[in-house]
Structure 1
Amino acid sequence: MALNDSALTGELTTRYDAGLAASLDDSYIAANDPRYLWALETKVQCAIALGFMESSTRDQTSISNCARAYDRMNETPMAPPVTMIPPPQPPQRRPDQCDDDIVGMVFFDFDSANIRPDAASTLNTVAQNVTVCGWTSFSVVGHTDQAGSDAYNLPLSRARADAVVAALRGRNIGNVQIEVGAQGESNPRVPLPDGTRSPQNRRVEISAE
């Protein structure tokens, strides 16, 4: 406002021309900031101020708006906020038990092929580890103790294996293939004299791959 009319008109014209050029500049139009809008505001406000100056009138409002819009138009655009990308999570470690020779063992009462309540925890763990370990197949082998004859114990061991297979299938193990075997009393966990009852030998062993 301290300039004489000629100098003030020159400054307003310079700002008007700059606003006009910026409003037609593709880099302003496509900019992801308000510079383009301030370029339009500069052009409008400076044109109003120049209109007043033609009648030798200094309109303080339009002159101030022209100067303010021009300054905002020429501000350095703000950098977009930096998006913090969390570091990638390390791959889940495969539990050591996934590679155990026997991944589950179910014990039975004497002369019985019924699943005992205390076997639920073992069966649940085996079923839950299918996804964790990436197993695609099971081998389920039934055993008996040394009480009774071989002819009696072999089908009993198979019945125990079948009971475990049914219990696993009922726990949503997907399409895991299951091979069923029966060894009767021929492969005791604890070798004992023939005719001996042994809770540790009345079992079904589950292995996985």
Structure 2
Amino acid sequence: MAAYASPNQVTTDIIQQDVPILVMDSMFAYFCFLEQLLVSDLGPHALAVSLPFACVLGLLASMIASTMGNSSFSSYGFAISVSQSYIWPYASFQFALVILFAHVFYSVLGVSPVFSILLSSFTGFGISISMNSLLIEYLRWRARRTLRSVRLNQSQQQNEARNLARVEDGDDTRQQDLENQIQDPNPLQHGQNHS
């Protein structure tokens, strides 16, 4: 008998397959970027500076992207494909922020290469994590709001059904009273005849 994997297990398996590719791609992308950024000023020493930073940044960026991309949407009942494909856009957004701030710190502000790489990585990672947290809070708020409106609609429908049942019961009681009065138009005379 074949065992079927749960959707969460399938998502975890696919993410675990994507992480090594993401690590290698991130390391290569950070190395190319840092080497091109630093080669004009450092010459051959740019390779010695960019290689260790690229390895550390690539590994750190991949770990952050896989963690944030995996935990963000899977707990909200979204489709598996959303949480699968969220890791790569998150990593790309994070990489773009690091590149942007590295250019700002190194080229515009003239900070030393090592400090510009450190500052840009802290800034890029921090902004991407903050944006992810804001997005998650927005999705939680929207889910709570939707759930609250659904519950409010359900309670209103239940109240309308109860009111309708009470009105129908009231009509039946009035109809029985009318039938009793028709059968016995004067209950006082009926009581005097018996005495």
Q: Which protein has the bigger strand share? A: 1
Q: Which has the larger radius of gyration?
A: 1
Q: Which protein has the bigger helix share? A: 2
